[in-house]
Homo-oligomer: A and B are copies of this chain.
């Protein structure tokens, strides 16, 4: 009988209840699971056993039907799940549908529609500006404080935590080189980010206003936007990052619903520039989230980026992304951009942590400027929960493996 009484202080207690998709060993059948401690509840089977009306949202091979169902359904399902895992009579009925995490395989929890990545940490943007444009008067580009800069990424290479990341090959050209050379990236980097998952679609031509953020966005996950800095540097003028990013983006297997993060809502940093009305959240909900991220390489923590420092909020990003009439689809994913705090030990990329390789990290297994084959990068995070609890976000982890192209 699995433990409904998860240990006190467990960040995956009944106050959390993130959603994922799993299968049993030897089976290809995927279904929605809800994490409780170190177990996963087969939510569709539990719903069926209890005669719940939510079978059609939970007995599914992906989260998409639940995502599309909208905020009222999200709250109702969460209320039902909370009862199932806390009320003794229900616990008895669903006990056999709780499985040890170690016995299941976790999958990409939703079908990614469009993937957008932002650039919303002022500290990160300033660090990158200083590294790449040391002579510029301002380390931020002129537009940075007026709009959340973003670009579209490759949805087809979003992978779930645990998936190996093949070192990409590509063109690179140092300024002194006469011509570009081709080969495996020698500046493979991480970007510690938070990803937001859109549930409810919107119509083309109809912007989503700031205040409707929570009507459209279901929840969030951790996201590592792997980056080949050498490839990116040579290709990105004038149309932005392409192959330097498109080989893989890893997301955690668990999507934490916004409803679990009510106690983590915080005001964003003070605005230094007046905002156009569609982005002005001064009168609106706080918009920020207090998420404490941790970045580990081969088990050694190398950084602890605080998400509360992000200049642009997820609500502003959504408003901006749709202000031109672009529509949303269920499964749209957007990344916050690399999260970097004010301190050196809070930087969310190796580019910043090693100052473009100048200051290597000292790890037990040796020095690191950028990632080496075999390195395992793990992002983890927690947020303040009700009554002093912690709400755990699912880890996102990936191992670098050598590519086949030399």
User: Which residues of A are in contact with B by a Cβ distance under 8 Å?
Assistant: 113-114, 116, 119, 141-143, 146-147, 149-157, 159, 166, 168-171, 173, 179-180, 182, 204-207, 228, 231, 234-244, 246-248, 274, 276-278, 320-321, 323-329, 332, 403-405
Contacts and interface: CB of A to CB of B under 8 A. Distances in A.
A228 B329 contact: no
A173 B273 CA distance: 15
B403 A147 contact: no
A122 to B, nearest CB: 15
A56 B292 CA distance: 51
Contact of A235 (B116, B147, B278, B405): B147
Nearest to A207: B405
B326 A146 contact: no
A205 B157 CA distance: 10
A302 B234 CA distance: 36
B143 A234 contact: yes
B154 A152 contact: yes
Contact of A170 (B180, B239, B242, B323): B323
B405 A113 contact: no
Contact of A156 (B114, B231, B403): B114
14 contacts: A114-B154, A114-B155, A143-B171, A143-B173, A143-B235, A146-B180, A147-B171, A149-B235, A152-B152, A156-B327, A168-B324, A236-B238, A247-B324, A325-B405
A246 B156 contact: no
B323 A238 contact: no
Nearest to A113: B156
Given A146-B171, A207-B405, 19 more contacts: A113-B155, A113-B156, A116-B242, A141-B237, A143-B234, A143-B235, A143-B237, A147-B234, A149-B242, A152-B153, A156-B327, A157-B204, A166-B325, A182-B278, A205-B404, A239-B240, A239-B241, A247-B325, A248-B325
A138 B286 CA distance: 48
Contacts of A142: 173
A362 to B, nearest CB: 30
Contacts of A119: 239
Given A239-B241, A403-B205, A169 B326 contact: no
A159 B204 CA distance: 10
Contacts of A116: 242
A149 B180 CA distance: 14
A358 to B, nearest CB: 21
In this complex, which of A154, A327, A329, A332 has the most chain B Cβ atoms within 10 angstroms of its Cβ? A154
A30 B115 CA distance: 28
Given A204-B166, A248-B204, A276-B182, A326 B237 contact: no
A170 B321 CA distance: 10
A383 to B, nearest CB: 28
Contacts of A241: 151, 239-240
Given A166-B205, A182-B277, A278-B182, A242 B152 contact: yes
A322 to B, nearest CB: 9
Nearest to A175: B142
In this complex, which of A205, A228, A247 has the most chain B Cβ atoms within 10 angstroms of its Cβ? A205
